[in-house]
């Protein structure tokens, strides 16, 4: 209780009661439903864009813009032309993450799906399996592990220090940082929006003038969180591209 304002526990804004199958491993809550809706939205947008009209409109325009962005700003910038075969995967990843993120700004939903750690962990593990599989298939397991453990051009005594660091980075730090970065940024933004919304509502009840500053900050935060939703989807996707490229082309 601060200045007559009572704030709910954090658990009230990050935990959602099950809507179906409560008490079972298959319980379905609001976040799960939003995740399913995100899958459907992404699927429908790209399904509707298959018409290939000469002058793109609507869903086709959105889909083509997204494809060009992934090709020009992520694939060609990090992987080169060889990486264009990964465009469908990276495009799906980017659009799905963005759609899941944007729910935090939509009234009635107001919960970014990636503010729950399970989905970021799943996507990070998926990326983890893909880039290691690409490296093993391309170079063979022995050469792939050798390239990771023994960086070329390094004096051999340095391997005592660098080899464990490289192993920890490739097999632990990279997937962990992917998941935690996405989760932490979306959760922090969600908590900020909820906090300022509660403050603004309480001050409006007391005095409209006193709510002006919190309301202005809340509007600013909405714009900022929209930027975060796009940026985090971009960062996750471009890091995925970087990791796949490093698996295909280890340091020489």
What's the pTM value of the predicted model, to 2 decimals?
0.85
- How many distinct structural domains can be found in the chain? 1
pLDDT number for residue 211 = 63
Question: Quick check: is 4 in a domain?
Answer: no
Question: How far, rounded to the nearest angstrom, does the alpha carbon of residue 92 sit from its chain's CA centroid?
Answer: 12
106-135: average pLDDT: 91
Question: Quick check: is 5 in a domain?
Answer: no
Question: Quick check: is 2 in a domain?
Answer: no
Kindly indicate the confidence band of residue 125, based on its pLDDT and cuts at 50, 70 and 90.
very high
Q: Which domain holds residue 211?
A: 11-248
pLDDT number for residue 1 = 41
Question: Quick check: is 1 in a domain?
Answer: no
Classified as helix, coil or strand, 25 is coil
Tokens representing residue 65 in the block: 């813009």
Handedness of CA 231, 236, 240, 243 (dihedral sign): positive
Question: Quick check: is 145 in a domain?
Answer: yes
Mean pLDDT, the chain, rounded, equals: 83
Tokens representing residue 99 in the block: 């759609």
Kindly indicate the confidence band of residue 235, based on its pLDDT and cuts at 50, 70 and 90.
very high
15-29, 115-129, 150-164, 184-198: which range is least confident on average?
15-29
C-alpha span between 170 and 175 (Å, rounded): 8
* Percent of the chain predicted with pLDDT > 90: 43
Question: Quick check: is 3 in a domain?
Answer: no
In this structure, what are the phi and psi dihedrals at residue 107, rounded to the nearest 5 degrees? -55, 140
The residue among 234 and 14 whose pLDDT is bigger is 234
């Amino acid at each position: 209780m601060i200045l007559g304002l009572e704030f709910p526990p954090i658990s009230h804004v990050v935990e959602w009661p099950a809507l179906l199958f409560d008490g079972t491993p298959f319980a379905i809550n609001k976040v799960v439903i939003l995740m399913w809706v995100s899958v459907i939205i992404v699927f429908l947008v790209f399904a509707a864009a298959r018409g290939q009209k000469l002058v793109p409109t609507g869903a086709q325009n959105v889909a083509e813009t997204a494809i060009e962005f992934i090709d020009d700003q992520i694939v060609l910038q990090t992987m080169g032309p060889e990486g264009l075969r990964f465009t469908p995967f990276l495009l799906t990843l980017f659009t799905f993450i963005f759609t899941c993120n944007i729910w935090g700004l939509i009234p009635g939903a107001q919960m970014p799906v990636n503010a729950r750690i399970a989905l970021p962990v799943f996507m990070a593990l998926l990326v983890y399996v893909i880039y290691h599989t690409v490296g093993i298939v391309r170079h063979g397991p022995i050469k792939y592990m050798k390239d990771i453990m023994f960086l070329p051009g390094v004096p051999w005594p340095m391997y005592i220090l660098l080899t464990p660091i490289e192993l920890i980075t490739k097999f632990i730090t990279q997937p962990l940082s992917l998941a935690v970065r996405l989760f932490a940024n979306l959760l922090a933004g969600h908590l900020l929006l909820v906090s300022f919304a509660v403050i603004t509502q309480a001050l409006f009840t007391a005095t409209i003038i006193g709510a002006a500053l919190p309301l202005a900050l809340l509007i600013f935060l909405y714009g900022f969180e929209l930027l975060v939703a796009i940026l985090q989807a971009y960062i996750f996707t471009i890091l995925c591209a970087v990791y796949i490229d490093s698996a295909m082309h280890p340091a020489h």
